[in-house]
Amino acid sequence: MSETTATASRGTDDCDQGRRHVVVIGGGPAAHRLADSLRARREAGGPPIGVTVIAEEPYLPYDRVALSTRLAAPVDLTLGDGTLWTAADVTCETGVRADAIDLAGRTVTLSDGRSLPWDDLVLATGSSATVPPIPGAAAGRVYRTVDDVDRLRAEIDDFREQHGRPAAVVVVGGGLLGLEAAGGALALGAGAAIVHSGRWLMSSQLDEGAGQALGRVIDGKGIRMHLGTRPSEVLTAPSGRVIGVALQDGTTIPADIVVFSIGITPRDELARAVGIEVAPRGGVVIGADCRTSAPGVWAIGEVAAVDGGCVGLVAPANAMAEVVADRVSGGAAEFPGVDDATKLKLAGVDVASFGDAFARTPGALEVVYADPPRGLYQKLVVSADAKTLLGGVFVGDAAPYSGLRPLLGRELPAEPVSFLSAAGAEPPAGIELPDDAQVCSCNAVTAGDVRGWIAGDHGEACTDIATLKSCSRAGTQCGSCVPLVKKILDTELTKAGVAVSTALCEHVSMSRTELFEAVRVLGLQTAAEVFERFATGYGCDVCKPVVASVLATQTNAYILDAGSGPLQDTNDRALANMQKDGTYSVVPRIPAGEISPAKLKVIADVADRYGLYTKITGGLRIDMFGARLEQLPDIWRELVDAGFESGQAYGKALRNVKSCVGSTWCRFGVQDSVAMAIFLEERYRGLRSPHKFKMGVSGCARECAEARAKDVGVIATENGWNLYVGGNGGFQPAHAQLLATDIDSETLVRYIDRYLMYYIRTAERLQRTARWQEELDGGLDHVRAVVCEDSLGIAAELEAAIATHVEGYEDEWAATLRDPARLRRFRSFVNAPDTPDPTILRVPEREQTRPAAPGERGSGPVPIAGATIPVGPGRASREG
């Protein structure tokens, strides 16, 4: 985090010179937004107003929304690039507190004894975390600031080190921050439980259906929930250490760390002390102009009470800051009201709500799609005539949020159900937002604003997403609107006749699709041929892997031969995934997750012999972590000899085909899903593509293999198989869409052949099937026409390409082990091939080992030149 020792002398001088000066008490995001807005207005020709921000914490204003990322790792959350605080007439005083306000003298007394004069005073003091008045509460922690988060992370790590087991963390409060704290604790290896007074999680933002869906997902992640009750006491040992939490329902939960996240209390004590009006439930009362009851005093952010209540969201705080910036600059802006729309990833689950999420509007109708076993819930609230959008709630799949949020209060351009992506629906193509529709609620940017920047209404036209974000400020806060901003940019550039560049990079002017087709038609076989014809210079990290992938798909050649080796990504070059400590993972293919006891024993023996960490993955495979580069050939020789082959977890290719046990064992199964999954995995293994892809086969409609969360999903029916396409989990999850129903096995395979090869030929670099499918003109209907109806007349060609792949497939590790020249790649030190990397250290944990953290590597001299490997005869060693 960035700290500053700047003084406020410039601000004092401003007052002495008769220049208007604003003092802001509080160093949070709202204060940052106000200072930034005043600077921007001054640079645009507005009045020269000086700003001094008083920040009690020893940091420059930081992004409190991203505290969960700080819990995972000590990342810098400082807002902006720091240039704001080096600008003329802008100062941030960190690590100092405002102790008193003198309304008559217009001064603020600081904790270090100084007194700052002001022309306008802005209260941006925020709020503090509420702690319940119960016995033992003082032993608990809160989740509110950077220091709170750092302390929690340290306590979790220290507990494990001291006691040899994970800490049991109990989070009191099942709202936004509570879920983030519990998810963060779980990610750090701690046990996690949530105590929440409501009957479902996030009961203030989500309706019961959404809350129950979220609860199922959270429970599935291993976070225990205690709902509909409150803590009555935090139990401690005589030493003061936390040992448990007693609940009002009579149960007791074991606990080592307790975190309170039950709400906020506005920090309005400075205002109360001088008689400024506060709301009955706390918070400084403001009007539409953000003025308080005292002349020259304003309030913004969480301390400001609007209509009797305070709001802890970014967008309203930013809007208040803009109002004050405009007012002190001579304008007449008014606060537009509270926008409580939220879109977050909580404990790995996408959650969003906006508008009238609880359907309280008279006559409101609710259009709902719910899939409880999958933890999916989508609801739109519309007017009585089902035309006007009033609100929405999304859990598990929040993809429609960014497009629907700007349409709040407007007539939907299609039937409401067409916007529920989890149901496999698609909104009509070509929907264009009106100019006054708000695209970025954090920064109050409308679609018209974005179009204006693109058109050059404010100077030079913005023709790329980075410039557009910088100029318009859209997408620079939480980032959830960036896909929508990019879509508007592409649409407007196309309208203006400006070619939207699809070039791979500065070296290759073609798109990936164009390059793939050119290589196919010309029959090029080597990287040298491709670069000679279609590239300038020597290529880069963008185009080189694409060329290598295209050649691998079309030639079936060994990926590290024929000049392709240097083009590959780090993982492909090692035929293994590099981990954070420089070691690699070993992932043998286990089709459909079916494995014999004999092969399990081989994996156990290999992992034990080489000291590898083992973990069963969600893809029904066993990953082994911690192999050094020079160990990979020996490990794989044992695995290949036992009948294993590479699982290609390192490549942009098929990862796995997940399966339930199907009709072989399950009494609900209607088809043999295991046999089908094994067949599909062995058919498409090694198939290189624009991005990784996964498949799933479920033996009945209960969908235990989660096939609809895969790029290709197959679900058994009484009459055959249903085929779903275009799904994925990960950072931007998408629900697969139904392509064909009740088809036989032969037709199923034929359709999958066509779908995969059409995707491989026409998708762009690093584009998942879901995004590719969305961007095709006609979407799923186009895919269905090509795959099922052969509308382009290329079905036989697509099938033949897959047949060529199947016939020419060879396991990459088996091919490597047969060739001594290929094995020479796997050495940590070229001139000492058997010498291990001395920087790799392991720490025992839970009966296995893990990479040593920075603090566990011990102290000692730091080698300036690194290790020295002797080149003469004798044993290699670390010298110096």
Residues 390-399: b if buried by 16+ CB within 10 A, e if exposed? bbbbbbbbbb
Amino acid at 128: S
Amino acid, single-letter form, for residue 836: P
3 state DSSP class of 453:
helix
Q: Among the listed ranges 57-61, 127-131, 224-228, 867-871, which one has the minimum average pLDDT value?
A: 867-871
Of 368, 353, 401, 374, give the one whose Cα is nearest residue 732: 401
Q: Which residue has the higher pLDDT, 374 or 463?
A: 463
Q: Which CATH architecture has domain 577-808?
A: 2-Layer Sandwich (3.30)
Residue 14 has pLDDT above 60, yes or no: no
CB 286 within 8 A of CB 111: no
pLDDT at position 501, please? 67
- Where residue 80 falls (left for φ over 0; alpha for ψ -120 to 50; beta otherwise) is left
Number of Cβ atoms within 10 Å of the Cβ of 233: 15
26, amino acid identity: G
- Asked if residues 539 and 566 have their Cβ atoms less than 8 Å apart, the reply is no
Residue 445 has pLDDT above 90, yes or no: no
Cα 388 from chain centroid (whole Å): 31
Contact 177, 196 (CB under 8 A): no
Label residue 662 exposed, middle or buried (CB < 10 Å: 0-12, 13-18, 19+).
buried
Identity of the residue numbered 737 = Q
Q: Are strands 115-117 and 107-110 parallel, antiparallel or unpaired?
A: antiparallel
- Cα-flanking dihedrals φ and ψ of residue 396, to 5°? 90, -40
Distance from C-alpha of 425 to C-alpha of 404, rounded to nearest angstrom: 14
d(CA 72, CA 601): 35
Query: Residue 132, SS3?
Result: coil
Q: What is the pLDDT of residues 55-70, one digit of tens each?
A: 999 999 998 888 888 8
**Average pLDDT value for residue range 523-548:** 84
Q: Where are the alpha helices (DSSP H) in 125-202?
A: 146-163, 176-187
pLDDT digits (tens, 9 = 90+) for 154-179: 999 999 889 989 999 999 999 888 99
Select the more confidently predicted residue: 460 or 698. Answer: 698
Asked whether residue 427 carries a pLDDT value surpassing 80, the answer given is no
Cβ-contact 758, 786 below 8 angstroms: yes
Q: Strand pairing of 168-172 and 257-260? A: parallel
Cα separation, 402 vs 421, whole angstroms = 13
Place of tokens 């799933």: 696
Which tokens sit at 602? 């081989």
Does residue 431 have a pLDDT over 90? Answer: no
pLDDT at res. 864? 33
| Whether residue 8 has pLDDT greater than 50 | no
pLDDT tens-digit profile of 592-638? 999 999 999 999 999 999 999 999 988 889 999 999 888 999 999 99
How confident is residue 82, by pLDDT bands cut at 50, 70 and 90? confident
Q: Give me the residue spans of the domains in the chain.
A: 9-128+266-328, 137-262, 512-568, 577-808
pLDDT at 142: 94
Residue ranges of the alpha helices (H) in 496-619?
Answer: 512-522, 527-534, 543-555, 570-574, 597-610
C-beta neighbour count of 460 within 10 angstroms: 9
CA-nearest of 438, 356, 343 to 389 is 356
10: tokens are 């410039």
Mean pLDDT of all residues in 224-248: 95
Quick check: 697 pLDDT over 70?
A: yes
For 143, the enclosing helix (H) or strand (E) is none
Strand partners, 721: 716, 743
Strand-pairing partners, residue 257, are 169
H or E, element range at 266: strand 264-266
Mean pLDDT (whole number) for 318-335:
92
pLDDT exceeds 80 at position 502: no
List 586's β-bridge partners, or say none: 624
- Identical fold between 9-128+266-328 and 137-262: yes
pLDDT at residue 417 is higher than 80: yes
Q: What is the pLDDT of residue 499?
A: 67
Cα separations in angstroms, 32 against 48, 92, 204, 566: 18, 9, 28, 46
Q: Sorting pLDDT into bands at 50, 70 and 90, what band is 6?
A: very low
Pick the CATH number of 9-128+266-328 from 3.50.50.60, 3.40.718.10, 3.65.10.10, 3.40.50.1100: 3.50.50.60
pLDDT of 308 strictly over 90 = no
Dihedral, CA of residue 606, residue 609, residue 614 and residue 620, to nearest 10: 10
- Partners of 109 in the β-ladder: 100, 115
Tokens at 792, concatenated: 């382009």
* pLDDT exceeds cutoff 50 at 867: no
User: In the prediction, which pLDDT does 853 show?
Assistant: 73
In this predicted structure, the answer to whether residue 17 has a pLDDT above a threshold of 70 is no
Q: Is 50 exceeded by the pLDDT of residue 870?
A: no
Instruction: Please give the residue that has the higher pLDDT: either 364 or 187.
Output: 364
Give the confidence band of 831 by pLDDT, cuts at 50, 70, 90.
low
pLDDT of residue 865: 34
| Confidence band for 871, pLDDT divided at 50, 70 and 90 | very low
AA letter at 118? W
| H or E segment to which residue 174 belongs | none
Q: pLDDT band for position 458 (50/70/90)? A: confident
* Confidence band for 560, pLDDT divided at 50, 70 and 90: confident
Radius of gyration of the chain (CA): 30
Query: Mean pLDDT over residues 522-534, rounded?
Result: 88
The pLDDT, as a whole number, for residue 751 is: 98
Q: Are 26 and 124 in contact (CB under 8 A)?
A: yes
**Average pLDDT score over the chain:** 86
Distance between CA 136 and CA 158 in Å, rounded? Answer: 22
Mind listing the pLDDT tens digit for each residue in 89-118?
899 999 999 999 999 999 999 999 999 999
At residue 766, what is the residue type? Answer: L
Which pLDDT value is given to residue 18? 52
Q: The domain 137-262 is classified under which CATH number: 1.25.40.10, 1.10.10.60, 3.50.50.60, 3.10.180.10? A: 3.50.50.60
The beta-carbon contacts of 859-866 under 8 Å, at least 24 apart in sequence, are none
- Among 772, 774, 775, smallest CA distance to 759 is for 772
Q: How many residues does the chain have?
A: 880
Percentage, residues of the chain above pLDDT 90: 52
Backbone phi, then psi, for 72, in 5-degree steps?
-70, -35
* pLDDT computed for residue 435 by the predictor: 83
Cα–Cα distance, 47 to 336 (Å, whole number): 24
Q: Taking Cα atoms as reference points, which of 44, 62, 45 lies closest to residue 53? A: 62
Summarize the confidence of residues 242-258 as an average pLDDT: 96
Query: Which of 85, 67, 265 is closest to 151 using CA atoms?
Result: 67
Task: Give the pLDDT confidence score for residue 556 in this predicted structure.
Answer: 84
- Return d(Cα 678, Cα 97) in angstroms, integer: 65
Specify the pLDDT at position 254.
96
pLDDT value at residue 81: 73
Give dist(CA 658, CA 395) in Å, integer. Answer: 24
Q: What number is the average pLDDT over the span 289-296?
A: 96
- Contact between residue 398 and residue 350 where contact means Cβ atoms under 8 Å apart: yes
pLDDT at 726: 94
- The closest alpha carbon to 691, from 749, 620, 617, 773, belongs to 773
**Strands 252-254 vs 242-247: parallel, antiparallel or unpaired:** antiparallel
Report d(CA 183, CA 191) in Å as an integer. 10
- Read off the pLDDT band of 834 (50, 70, 90): low
For the chain, give percent helix, strand, coil, nearest 5: 35, 20, 45
**Cα separation of 836 and 765, whole Å?**
36
Quickly state the pLDDT bin for 15 (edges 50, 70, 90).
very low
Q: How far apart are the first and last CA of the chain?
A: 36
